[in-house]
Amino acid sequence: MLSIDGSLLEGGGQIVRSAVALSAVTGTPVEIVAIRKKRSRPGLANQHCAAIRAVAEACHARVTGNTPGSSRLSFIPGTIVRRDISVDVGTAGSVPLVIQAWLPVALEEGGSLLVQGGTEVRFSPTIDYLTEVFLPALGTAGAGVQVEIIRRGYFPVGGGIVRITAEPASLPRITIGGENGSGIRSCSSNLPDHVADRQAASARAYLLKETGEEYPVSVRRSEGPGTGSSCTVWNGAKGSCALGKRGLPAEKVGEAAASGLVAELRAGGDVDTHLSDQLLLYLARGGGSYTAAVLTLHARTMCWLLSLFGLPVTVAERDPVEFRA
């Protein structure tokens, strides 16, 4: 059994989610210890438990320690099968991060996942980032994935519902191009219509001023158990997100998302700093290469974790940083 110290490097939930996914696709039993040891609330949170359940159901794994607050997890994978799975985070924990743990496993035999939680929450990509940036970057593997956003969920209530269906796919070599295009997605729940409109207008104006380009706009308004808003902007394999909060003008939300994207575009590299670590599992298994402006701690953590499973990634620390497998 492979023993993994969950407190090393980034020391957070990324290690847990990626380790169980890698365990499932490689057939390697793992034990993760000192989970999130340095966090203010150490151990597993609800979102991590939901991700582990989703992966475990996809591969008939035997699991011990998958409870909130647990600092140790044993995960012994079985055979990956096509299954229709449903998990409820139980909080506003990130739906996209649960999906990111499940997807590498689902791409082996196909299947679906209905997950309830937060679709747009802090310290996580929005569901729109997942559909417009992450999945297109997977190339043909991402093309076989369908996402239905049934209901959006915001902190602190959550209650968002997403159904994702994946067809079996051979992982292609990762090659990044600009064919994904660009856009602005402004969303709100239980707020006046003008909030999402103002977010979108602000993002559009900022991007036009800084890049000289007109970005297509789409607005999504919904009603759900919680109140909130988000703005996601993208250009090819680079994206940026911002969330609304009480007292923050809608214009500031749109500008924050747009300025984040402009910074990524000017920094250089093929992908944004967040996508650089999210793609590494697929790069290590399918081969290919891409560049990013910097080597983030999350990317270093993923390279370390992948090496434990015999899936090395070569990192050339130049300007920009190159990842190759």
Which pair of structure tokens corresponds to residue 47? 């979102």
Which segments of 57-100 are extended strands (E)? 62-64, 73-76, 83-88
DSSP state of 226: S
60 is catalytic: no
d(CA 320, CA 268): 7
Q: Which of 48, 60, 194, 298 is catalytic?
A: 298
The torsion angles phi and psi of 50, rounded to 5 degrees, stand at -65, -40
**Parallel, antiparallel, or unpaired: how do β-strands 289-292 and 321-324 relate?**
antiparallel
Q: Which of 241, 221, 222, 223 is closest to 231 using CA atoms?
A: 241
The distance of Cα 130 from the centroid of its chain, to the nearest Å, equals 6
Which pair of structure tokens corresponds to residue 63? 């699991």
The distance of Cα 127 from the centroid of its chain, to the nearest Å, equals 8
Q: Which residues are catalytic?
A: 298
